[in-house]
């Protein structure tokens, strides 16, 4: 047993401290210690267990510490309810907190929160577009009507009304922990004509106080017994550098393949300027202006024609939120031709999302890709679709 070395060490230590015991050299442990006898006896009475004991004790103490202790942030509601747990995030007017006694975070109405006490670091986005980082605190609005939310950093403190706080995210230690996103899968089958439709989408984003970036991938496959099959996939990546207030500089890259439009690949590279005209916990409205370059390769029985164009970028994005229930997101991007005058491309998408339990959601989406003047006469001007999917948010 592991206790025997320790008992042996204690017995020998007690003997060393004064228990009379004769030795072959004529000295005894109770005799006065001299520098020579001290050195001799310490050499002779230092067992291996005495050397091992301090590391073993240290390991024992470390093993008693909790491996993954959760934070104990305190949220008090206006009705007096008190919740202790880990504040995760604020988005779309919903504050998410995870107590120790639940399996996942749940949402509460941000407008019904009276106070928050936390010692953790967060990234905060305000209504005016400011991106801040620090320790957050919310005090009673009765005590500070116009400054009841505070963000403290090492060198300064910012006070603002809680109603002006649009977004709160935990400031994680690593890049990967800071990522957020979603994965969706949709499947439809009609037995009458053996028609199958499969759609998938995935996206991930990273947010800091000065910039953000993200990627997304969407695929759609449709097939029917005895008929041709169609497929579409689109990958998009973007980067955004925040300027003062609600404006930013953006860069984007988009890659699209569409069998219905006989498009092997359209590569779109460009950038521009973005601004939020409306930014609240209930709605957001954003405008985008820029310039892009496109390289297109089309399918053909005789050749694979390629076109390169310069196009303007004009777009809007609108989001509508309702507390812990649903959200509506719509986006319209138009690309008027500059080098190919008279040609107009439009990409539109609208998504209605309903929140379920444990970060799951269901979505209903409509999308459309329009080209007013395809280079191939047999190509369709429109490709549109309607999908229903089940997804998970991380």
* Predicted confidence (pLDDT) per residue in 117-173, tens digit: 999 999 999 999 899 999 999 999 888 888 999 999 888 899 999 999 999 998 877
Task: Check whether residue 386 and residue 369 sit in a common domain.
Answer: yes
Helix axes 48-63, 3-17, angle to 10 degrees: 130
* Whole-number average pLDDT of the chain: 82
For residue 53, the model assigns a pLDDT of 47
End-of-domain residue from the set 34, 63, 92: 63
Q: Does 352 or 33 have the greater pLDDT score?
A: 352
Containing 53, the helix (H) or strand (E) segment is helix 48-63
Q: Within this chain, do residues 215 and 358 fall inside the same structural domain, yes or no? A: yes
pLDDT band at 374 (very low <50, low <70, confident <90, very high): confident
Q: What is the CATH number of the domain that holds 212?
A: 2.40.160.40
The answer on 212 and 149 residing in a single domain is no
The per-residue b/e assignment along 63-81, b for 16 or more CB within 10 angstroms, e otherwise, is eeeeeeeeeebebbeeeee
Q: How far is CA 121 from CA 86, 172, 314, in A?
A: 12, 8, 37
Domain final position from 170, 191, 224 = 170
163 and 189 inside one domain: no
- Where is the domain boundary, 15, 42, 63? 63
> Is 310 within a domain?
yes
Asked if 165 and 130 sit in the same domain, the reply is yes
Q: Is the domain of 183 the same as that of 286?
A: yes
Sign for the pseudo-dihedral over CA of 230, 327, 180, 290: positive
Of 38-42, 76-80, 154-158, the least confident:
38-42
Give me the domain span that covers residue 164. 73-170
Number of domains comprising the chain: 3
Joined tokens for residue 146: 């116009």
The pLDDT of residue 361: 93
- Residue 168, classified by CB atoms within 10 Å of its CB into exposed (0-12), middle (13-18) or buried (19+), is buried
Give the integer Cα–Cα distance in Å for 251 and 219. 23
Same domain, 229 and 338: yes
Q: How do residues 201-246 score in pLDDT, each as one tens digit?
A: 999 999 988 999 999 999 999 887 777 788 999 999 999 999 987 9
Is 235 found in the same domain as 218? yes
Provide the whole-model pTM: 0.72
Tell whether 52 and 92 lie within a shared domain.
Answer: no
Q: Is the dihedral of CA 52, 55, 58, 63 positive or negative?
A: negative
Is the model more confident about 233 or about 69?
Answer: 233
Alpha-carbon torsion angle 305, 311, 316, 317, nearest 10:
40
pLDDT at 70: 63
Which range of 15-19, 243-247, 267-271 scores highest in mean pLDDT? It is: 267-271
Same structural domain for residues 103 and 22? no
Residue 379 within any structural domain of the chain: yes
Q: Are residues 281 and 367 in the same domain?
A: yes
């Amino acid at each position: 047993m592991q206790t025997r070395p320790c008992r042996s060490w204690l017995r020998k230590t007690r003997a060393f401290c004064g228990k009379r015991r004769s030795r072959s050299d004529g000295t005894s442990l109770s005799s006065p210690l001299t520098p020579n006898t001290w050195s001799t006896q310490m050499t002779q009475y230092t067992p291996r267990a005495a050397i091992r004991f301090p590391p073993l004790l240290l390991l024992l103490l470390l093993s008693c510490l909790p491996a993954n202790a959760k934070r104990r942030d305190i949220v008090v509601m206006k009705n007096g309810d008190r919740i202790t747990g880990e504040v995760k995030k604020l988005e779309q007017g919903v504050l998410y907190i995870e107590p120790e006694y639940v399996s996942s975070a749940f949402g509460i109405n941000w407008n019904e929160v009276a106070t928050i006490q936390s010692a953790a670091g967060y990234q905060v986005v305000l209504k005016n577009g400011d991106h801040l980082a620090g320790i957050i605190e919310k005090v009673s609005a009765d005590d500070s009507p116009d400054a009841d939310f505070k963000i403290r950093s090492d060198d300064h403190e910012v006070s603002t009304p809680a109603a002006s706080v649009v977004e709160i995210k935990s400031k994680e230690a690593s890049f990967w922990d800071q990522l957020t996103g979603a994965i969706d899968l949709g499947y439809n089958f009609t037995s009458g004509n053996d028609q199958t439709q499969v759609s998938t989408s995935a996206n991930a984003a990273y947010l800091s106080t000065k910039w953000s970036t993200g990627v997304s991938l969407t695929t759609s496959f449709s097939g029917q017994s005895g008929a041709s099959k169609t497929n579409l996939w689109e990958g998009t990546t973007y980067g955004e550098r925040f300027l003062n207030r609600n404006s930013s500089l953006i860069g984007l890259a988009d890659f699209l393949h569409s069998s219905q439009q006989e498009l092997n690949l359209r590569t779109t590279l460009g950038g521009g300027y973005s601004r939020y005209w409306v930014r609240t916990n209930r709605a957001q409205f954003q405008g985008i202006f820029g310039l892009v370059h496109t390289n297109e390769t089309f399918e053909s029985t005789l050749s694979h024609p390629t076109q390169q164009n310069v196009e303007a970028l004009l777009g809007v994005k609108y989001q509508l939120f309702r507390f812990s229930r649903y959200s509506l997101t719509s986006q319209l991007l138009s690309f008027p031709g500059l080098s190919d005058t008279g040609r107009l491309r439009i990409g539109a998408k609208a998504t209605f999302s309903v929140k379920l339990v444990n970060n799951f959601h269901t979505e209903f989406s409509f999308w459309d890709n329009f080209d007013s003047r395809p280079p191939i006469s047999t190509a369709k001007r429109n490709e549109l679709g309607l999908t229903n999917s089940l997804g998970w948010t991380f």
